[in-house]
Chain A
Amino acid sequence: MIGDLIWSHGLDDYLNCLDVSSSGPLIVGSLGGDAAIIDGDTGEHRDLQRHEMGVLSTAWDPSGQRVAVGGQDGTVRIYDPMGGQIGQINTDDWVNDVAWSPMETILAIASGKTLTLTDADAQVLHRCQPRSSTITSVAWATTGLRVGSAAYGGIAWYDPETITDGRPTREHEFKGSALSIALAPSGKWACAGFQDATIHLWKLWSGDELSMSGYPAKIELLAFDPDSHWMVSACLEELTFWDFSGRGPRGRTPARGAVHDRHVTAVAWHRSGEYLLSGGADGRVVLWPAPRRRGEEVEPLFVHHAGDTVSQVAWNSEGTALFIGCADGRIEARALEI
């Protein structure tokens, strides 16, 4: 069950970003502009420089040595875990997403229509050619050799090692506005959620592709479990779990999770892949088991009421506690018994 409050902290406005480092601390950012690094165990916090008009994206590198924070003001700052600033990149547009390569050597920054690649100290390596529309999301292939950007028209992939004129190495085209991107940790699949109520997926790098439609609205949340078995997608109040084991989801009926009564705003898989957290505009934080079989109606293990719209959910690095971010800027750490 979701238990006692361990600590809480408040930012000035809507808790827009919350990411947990593999070594323990959290990075949080609000749409008001506050940003802070918080000790996951004690709640002790270090405030970072504000981003006027809001923080839009945050990411820890895989070993937890550096964290990137991007804002609507067009800047990205890289910090060490103590909050010491390592570098800054200035762009002209909203920084919608930031993502570290698995080898931690490259930071991919999506600002406006442009993908910029920098080294770990914020020195620009490449500015890719602008895409025809705004990049909403970026993700690295598990090999770390290729990074994908989602925008209207699908995913454009870039290979930092061989990039020369800033053109994509490969393009996965699909007509529609891609809002989110998710790569299976197995490296076998890339998925994108679209404004047109569709998920499109590509089997990497075979050219095989597949659309999953029939959703009632746009798809902004997609997340693979660590085993690349289930991919959860959220659309309005409902979660859908697609079975990606073996040959993948083609022709398979997904499992469903319907407990929220307003739209789902956040999802996070447990490191074991056995549990999922979801948060919603209804103020609920729901603890789910991974589906047992395809097509089932998944029953929640526990429902917690946060008292305000939930904007973010995350697990601590050991998977023994959880963090809840709310629309009023509050962050709570709560104990977990499973």
Chain B
Amino acid sequence: MDASTDDLVPVTVLTGFLGSGKTTLLNYILTEQHGKRIAVIENEFGEIGIDDALVLEAEEEIFEMNNGCICCTVRGDLIRILGNLMKRKDRFDHIVIETTGLADPAPVAQTFFVDPEIAAQLRLDAIVTVVDAKHLEMHLDDEKPDDIENEAVEQLAFADRVVVNKVDLVDADQLATVHSRIREINAYAPLVDTTHGRVDLDAILDVGAFDLDRVLADDPEFLDPDAEHQHDLSVTSVGIEVPGELDVERLNAWLGALLMERGVDIFRSKGILAPAGSEQRYVFQGVHMLLDGRMDRPWGPDEERTNKLVFIGRNLDRDELETSFRTCLVS
């Protein structure tokens, strides 16, 4: 994914439970973006019809890639649909993929890393997760068998933006609780409160969440490591900031081993790094084991060489991650 090219058509992935207001938000986007050519790909018949857009129905078809990476799954239906769509003369300004309420966002995102035809023409803009303020807690607390992920947790963990819908149905205290529950899982995705799916579209469209030029551009405030979690959570966010320069060989070995051993558990990763001997920053972002990275802009003359990494995933141990990462520093 070469995100620097402006002629790539942006793709927004819209996830969220049935009833969260996904389709209402989608209709709002289509109404507000009147005049723009938008194509919508959906995997289930929504509760509400969709107007004013080319709507393509597809049956979700998940493939495991035969590349030795057990978490590398892609969406075969999207490869076919997007492939045909991009061959047509009709150019779209934006594509929205609305997933089923129970969908795992990983295969959708990984499709953009894995298929060269898609990566050459489209850019994954952001995963936007819509939640229902009144029912989110119930979904998060829904007990699942050990080997099954709670989809509500997963959709929040993958999100680049979280739209908290139906805030009129809860009071201020309840809303604060909803926010903190989301933050416990995903500390970095900006939250957008709304009713009836009406949001400032600049907050969710063309945000460039997968754009390497904008990795951690919002300069996230790193979590206080001592912040107490109110819930017994397996999926959390970990942010690490370590000043200094990195030994490139040791860094490659560390990152390679981390993604190989823990890739299944690490849903999203992002980072800005300071390799020793380079005047430029190195930026990367990844979904599970798939990583996209490159050299970025030069460090400023007075800029401190520092490394910032963000992981969202299951059973993450901050101390262990930070300690092992520090072994990559040039001593």
Contact = CB atoms under 8 A, between A and B. Distances in A.
A248 B67 CA distance: 26
B87 interface: yes
Contacts of B84: 31, 54, 56, 72
Interface residues of A, number: 29
B62 to A, nearest CB: 9
Nearest to A175: B66
B76 A133 contact: yes
Interface string A28-39: 000110000000
B63 A217 contact: no
Given A195-B63, A196-B67, A134 B87 contact: no
Contacts of A54: 84, 88
A236 B115 CA distance: 11
Given A134-B61, A134-B80, A263 B88 contact: no
Given A13-B88, A13-B89, A54-B84, A133 B66 contact: no
A307 to B, nearest CB: 15
Interface in A11-60: 13-14, 16, 31-32, 54, 56
Given A152-B63, A196-B65, A218 B87 contact: no
A195 B88 contact: no
Interface string A90-132: 0000101000000000000000100000000000000000000
A332 B76 CA distance: 33
Given A14-B88, A31-B87, A134 B117 contact: no
A236 B76 contact: no
B66 A16 contact: no
B116 A32 contact: no
A196 B87 contact: no
Contact of A217 (B66, B76, B80, B116): B116
Best-buried of B64, B89, B114, B115 by chain A (most CB within 10 Å): B89
Contacts of A329: 89
Contacts of B50: none
Contacts of A75: none
B80 to A, nearest CB: 7
A227 interface: no
A221 interface: no
A195 B64 CA distance: 10
Interface in B27-85: 59, 61, 63-67, 74, 76-77, 79-80, 84
Interface in A129-187: 133-134, 152, 175-177
A202 interface: no
Contacts of A68: none
B63 A177 contact: yes
A16 B89 CA distance: 12
With most chain B CB atoms within 10 A of its CB, the pick from A94, A198, A311 is A94
Contact of B76 (A32, A152, A198, A311): A152
Contact of B63 (A56, A72, A133, A198): A133
B76 A218 contact: no
Interface string A186-201: 0000000011101000
Contact of A195 (B79, B87, B90): B79
A198 B88 contact: no
A327 interface: yes
A175 B117 CA distance: 22
Contacts of B87: 14, 16, 31, 311, 327
B182 to A, nearest CB: 35
Contacts of B63: 133, 152, 176-177, 195
A164 B77 CA distance: 30
A32 B65 contact: no
Among A32, A54, A195, the most chain B Cβ lie within 10 Å of the Cβ of A195
A134 B76 contact: yes
A328 interface: yes
A202 B217 CA distance: 51
A195 B121 CA distance: 18
Contacts of B116: 217-218, 236, 263
A182 B65 CA distance: 22
Contact of B115 (A13, A31, A94, A218): A218
Given A31-B87, A311-B87, A327-B87, A263 B74 contact: no
Contacts of A196: 65-67
B88 A31 contact: yes
Interface string A214-248: 00011000000000000000001000000000000
Interface of B: 59, 61, 63-67, 74, 76-77, 79-80, 84, 87-90, 114-117
21 contacts: A13-B89, A14-B88, A31-B84, A31-B88, A54-B88, A96-B80, A133-B61, A133-B63, A134-B77, A152-B61, A176-B65, A176-B66, A177-B63, A177-B76, A195-B76, A195-B114, A218-B116, A218-B117, A236-B116, A263-B116, A327-B87
